[in-house]
Amino acid sequence: MSLPDIDQLLDSLEQQLREHLNHHQIEQPLLVGIRTGGVWIAEQLQQRLQLEGELGILDISFYRDDFTRHGLHPQVKGSELPDSIEDRSIILIDDVIKSGRTIRAAMNELFDYGRPARISLLTLLDVGQRELPIQPDICGHRLSLNDGQIVKLSGPQPLTLSLS
């Protein structure tokens, strides 16, 4: 299986995000990346759209639903969000969406910071295999993986995709 070119994916995400913001009349979106890959994608888009202000960073370690199975991630780095996300339009960004559990955890965490006006979901890749009713609003590429196959984003300089 061949993997798509990352720059082309970012071009496509930028284009789709601009259309999404126009369509929903969002003037000052808050980009929030999920550690670690989502933050890299968010940084790229923040630059391409020349958005003002800091982007948000979510570390969902304290919100994972598999804590009882796998325990706490040994390298928790913490979340960094602006003082208030109240009534902000958030673009939640991750590298790969699979089961949807990461996004659920991320949304639970966001709501502990305040009540955003809306949350849209943007992912670089969608590999299917969903276990929850959560779908991206904007997606760079859809990919179907064979059993046991894992796709991984490495970065931040340069961003590369690999299959294993």
Distance in Å, CB of 124 to another protein, minimum? 25
Q: Does 113 bind another protein (CB under 8 A)?
A: yes
Nearer to another protein, 68 or 164 (CB): 68
Report the residue from 71, 133, 148, 158 that binds another protein according to the rule CB under 8 A: 71
Nearer to another protein, 80 or 137 (CB): 80
Q: Most distant CA pair in the chain: distance in Å?
A: 44
Q: Does 157 bind another protein (CB under 8 A)?
A: no
Report the residue from 44, 46, 79, 120 that binds another protein according to the rule CB under 8 A: 79
- The CA angle 31-34-36, to the nearest 5 degrees, is 120
Q: Does 75 bind another protein (CB under 8 A)?
A: yes
Q: Does 89 bind another protein (CB under 8 A)?
A: no
- Secondary structure (DSSP) of 89-157: EEEEEEEEESSSHHHHHHHHHHHHH---SEEEEEEEEE----SSS---SEEEEE--PPTT--EEEE-SS
Task: Note whether 37 and 153 are within 8 A (CB).
Answer: yes
3 state DSSP class of 22: helix
Q: Does 102 bind another protein (CB under 8 A)?
A: no
Bridge partners (DSSP) listed for residue 162:
152
Contact characters 33-62, another protein, x per CB under 8 A:
--------------------------x-xx
- Secondary structure (DSSP) of 50-79: T--SPPEEE-GGGG-TTHHHH---S-----
Stretch binding another protein (CB under 8 A), from 5-13, 23-31, 69-77, 138-146: 69-77
Q: Does 23 bind another protein (CB under 8 A)?
A: no
Contacts with another protein by CB under 8 A lie at 59, 61-63, 67-72, 74-80, 108-109, 111-114
